[in-house]
Structure 1
Amino acid sequence: MLQALIFVVFPFCMLFAALSDMLSMTIANRVSILLVATFAVVAPMAGMDWATYGWHFAAAMLILMVTFTLFALGGMGGGDAKMMAATALWMGFSFELLQYLVYAALIGGLLTFFLLLYRGSVLAAFTGHNLFLKNFADARQGVPYGIALGISGLSVYPSTYLAQWALMSLV
């Protein structure tokens, strides 16, 4: 049961956030709340010691402070800020967190570049009415960064403590 939560909740939240941001340009608070609540319950049950557990929350708070500063300056959406912090909670101060942040920056940069190319193209006029592409085609919309966050989180997740613990406990 514990392994199922570890294998399902985080990936589901990453996919849901990416799709939600693509379709509605929002990431619901319930996604971040689910990530935080699940980690808070599952990590101690998976054998994470209390000091490490606390450092995971410290990492999340640091990311939250930085991303909310960016949000206040208009450089990032509020849902993206909360999602990054909730994702950081699962990674703690680790190489995986650094990978996640670098991947998110690179994938987000590529997404932004291709989004700007698409919005400036004739193709946007023809495909912009599609449910999945309408926000991509609309130059008044921002960048659905939840896509980059979801892909980055899914890329790094298999290396995290909880994913590794769940895999090892199945053997």
Structure 2
Amino acid sequence: MLVALIFVVFPFCMLFAAISDLLSMTIANRVSLLLLGTFAVVAPLTGMDWSAYGLHFAGGAVVLAVTFILFALGGMGGGDAKLLAATAVWMGFGTHLLEYLVVSAFLGGVLTLGILSYRGSAIAMFTGRNMFLRNFADKTVGVPYGIALGIGGLIAYPESPLMVWAIEQLAAK
């Protein structure tokens, strides 16, 4: 059951956040709360020592502090900031977190450039009413960065501490 939670909850939340941001330009608080709550319960049951457990939450706190400042300056949406912090808790305070942040930033840059190109093109006039493309075409809204965060999370997740533990558990059987 524990391994199943590790395999399902994080990827589901990343996909849900990406799709939700694509369709509605919002990431529900319950996604970040589910990530935090699941990690808080599951991580100690995997045998993670308390210092590592604390460092995971420290990574989330540092990311939340930085993203809160970016949110206050208008450079980031609130849902994106909370999702980044909750995802940082799963990655831990180390190279996995750095990998997640770099991959997500790169994907976010590509996404932003793509959306800006799309918004400036003639094709946006014809496809802008499509439910999947309407937020891409609307120049009055920001960029649904949750898409990049979700994909970045899915790319970085296989090397995260809980996922490595879960794979080791399956390999031992």
TM-score, L = length of structure 1: 0.99
Query: C-alpha deviations, 1:28-86, integer Å up to 9, x for none?
Result: 00000000000000000011000100010000000000000000000000000000000
Distance 1:59 1:99 in 2: 13
User: Runs of 4 or more off by more than 4 Å in structure 1?
Assistant: none
| Residue equivalent to 1:90 | 90
Distance 2:137 2:53 in 1: 42
SS across alignment from 1:130: coil
| Residue equivalent to 1:129 | 129
Distance 2:97 2:135 in 1: 29
Deviation (angstroms), 1:94 = 1.7
What's the RMSD between the two structures over aligned residues? 0.5
Q: Does 1:28 align with 2:21?
A: no
Matching residue's letter, 2:53: Y
| Residue equivalent to 1:63 | 63
How many residue pairs match? The answer is 171
Distance 2:121 2:145 in 1: 21
Alignment of 1:6-85 (within 5 A): 6-85=6-85
| Structure 1 gaps, min length 5 | none
| Residue equivalent to 2:116 | 116
Deviation (angstroms), 1:93 = 1.1
Matching residue's letter, 1:53: Y
| Residue equivalent to 1:107 | 107
Matching residue's letter, 2:90: W
| Residue equivalent to 2:164 | 164
Query: What is the identity percentage for the equivalent residue pairs of Structure 1 and Structure 2?
Result: 68
